[in-house]
Structure 1
Amino acid sequence: TWLAAGATAVGVGTGLPTHPEELAALFADLAAYPAASGGSPPRAPEPGRAAPDAGPVAAPRAQA
Structure 2
Amino acid sequence: MNIGITDATLAIVTINKDMKSSNFPVFYAENEKELQDRALIISKTMGGMVHDVLHGTLIIVRH
Task: Work out which of the two has the higher radius of gyration on C-alpha atoms and give 1 or 2.
Answer: 1
In proportion to residue count, which structure has more strand? 2
TM-score (norm 2): 0.32
Choose between structure 1 and 2 for higher RCO, CA contacts under 8 A separated by at least 6 residues.
Answer: 2
TM-score (norm 1): 0.32
